[in-house]
A and B are shown apart, each in its own frame.
Chain A
């Protein structure tokens, strides 16, 4: 078994070497894929509205956004099924606009897998190889390698309708990987799987990408999926790319109010800038009184701002933070009453109605099995958080 695995590993390594060759990848400082000001309209509707993006070789990139934001259209333009109205798409420095889908070194895994129902698993995987004019023996070897890679051994002769959802997903993956594309596009690859299978497949996909060193671009509306797998995430809304960042940066430093709300859960307080004391701002909010926040790196254009704080950074206690003395003045303390308790297993989310009028959500890890500190409904609590955990966003 171990031998078998290392065999696959070795052949996978050869895959990369063969695919890379002397001139397959551009120099490392140049991106593998460059998207420049791409626009695509359907009728009067701008599905993709001026997107520019660089993707490095070997990167796992996620396009994240709600349905209808244009992410699938962008992916289809990369695959060649749609032509951009304006802008350029460069692969390794070369414009691929005149290249038809079947001539692009890019393969796509379709959302519904699009397996050929009249062909067996083996013939599905071999389909793209036959078009490359490969020798029979080479095709058989490559198919066997792919079957082993996605762990489909023994199912080669089955038809797609004799497979489970997870198995079909693997066939689709193997089929799109078989031609060893420079870029693999994945359109919501895990949407049709149940939660458990989705999570284990996420891990496998990530491992596969690392091992093959291939560039993956995945489209998803599931922010957790994007966070788990991607090196960088591009958030799309209404045809525009709002922010491109690593998962941590996207979560901790979202560029806009919309992204802050779309990625994860967040408390928002609208207010006005009152005063600045060094790198501390005082903001008067309508719902939570005056709050102290860390000044953002760039200067604020407007006085009207929103303060955003993630629920897990809001702590609850009966009397406020214990180490009140040293930095007490620099901590935001909000008195309130617990109105809702939501036990989620690993964490518990509390909803607290503040005396100042607003509500704040707090998420606390359940670190002990018997929690004597759990709060009940109608209990008076102090919600507190540090200025550094707050984000200031322009409204």
Chain B
């Protein structure tokens, strides 16, 4: 046990290199977001100037607000649909077309985003739908639903079926048994799925740029178009805020799924 616990020099070096490779750019970005200088690459002392700048940049704030709304809406819809799909797959028995359904549900996991984005764009054009908030939300729901389904289904799979039977034995019809016993027990997985969908939606550039319309850019689209004109230090500040938000959500999500797997204290009063 001790031997495994102690790391050799080689391991320490490779771990340090790996972590540096992953996180050094992010750390530099965070540090430079507090840069007082106008030039991105020259250090001019500590300052909150660019945060101030960002909060006064109406277009940027609007994009951020749009992104947040899209993320919340699409994550909520995806969580509802993904949970229903997971329940159907793990509790519906062997209904006809089950394998096809599960294959189709998980396809977006491996589908290149360009293809998803393009096909959705073609659909919206064919339907003559006005592109904007709702088209992006629908597209993000399509993208993130399968992630929710995977998370919830794995939790349902590890849940003892006899718990639901016990609830029915004690006077619950199947729907009440699900609400009173299954739902509280998979709630942490559902919460984790929601947060995963939220961050995926917040991150997405490719699908959003295919499906959005004029005047309704999401934050990643806005940042990307700004950067093409040259990186402003303000971008660093925005990115730092996004990193902070995503870090918080990811930490909460992993805590929730850890809670879910130990199935302990997720007390939900009836």
List chain A positions with a Cβ less than 8 A from chain B.
Answer: 79-81, 100-102, 107-108, 110-112, 114-119, 123, 127-128, 130-132, 159, 161, 175-176, 179
Number of B interface residues, CB 8 Å? 25
A-B contact pairs, 24 of them (CB 8 A): A79-B169, A80-B168, A100-B168, A102-B168, A102-B172, A102-B173, A110-B166, A111-B162, A114-B160, A114-B163, A114-B166, A115-B166, A116-B181, A117-B185, A117-B263, A117-B264, A118-B181, A118-B263, A127-B167, A128-B171, A131-B171, A131-B176, A175-B166, A179-B171
A101/B270 contact (C-beta < 8 A), A118-B263, A132-B171 known? no
B170, B263, B267: residue with the most chain A Cβ atoms closer than 10 Å? B170
Determine whether the beta carbon of B185 is less than 8 Å from that of A101: no
A116/B168 contact (C-beta < 8 A), A102-B173, A123-B270, A130-B270 known? no
A107/B268 contact (C-beta < 8 A), A81-B165, A112-B160, A114-B165 known? no
Minimal beta-carbon separation of A207 from chain B (angstroms): 24
A108-B165, A117-B264 known; 5 new pairs, CB 8 Å cut-off, are A102-B173, A118-B266, A127-B170, A128-B171, A175-B170
The residues of B that contact A111 with a CB separation of less than 8 Å are: 162
Question: Which residues 120-141 of B have a CB within 8 angstroms of A?
Answer: none
The residues of A that contact B268 with a CB separation of less than 8 Å are: 118
Determine whether the beta carbon of A101 is less than 8 Å from that of B169: yes
Docked Cα-Cα span, A81 to B164, in Å, equals: 11
Of the candidates A108, A119, A131, the one whose C-beta lies within 8 Å of that of B172 is A131
The residues of A that contact B185 with a CB separation of less than 8 Å are: 117-118
Residue B108 is within 8 A (CB to CB) of chain A in the complex: no
A116/B165 contact (C-beta < 8 A), A102-B171, A159-B264, A179-B170 known? no
The residues of A that contact B267 with a CB separation of less than 8 Å are: 118
Question: Which residues 143-166 of B have a CB within 8 angstroms of A?
Answer: 160, 162-163, 165-166
Docked Cα-Cα span, A111 to B161, in Å, equals: 12
Docked Cα-Cα span, A128 to B177, in Å, equals: 11
A107/B170 contact (C-beta < 8 A), A117-B185, A118-B263, A118-B267 known? yes
Docked Cα-Cα span, A108 to B165, in Å, equals: 9
From A172, which residue of chain B is reached at the shortest CB distance? B166
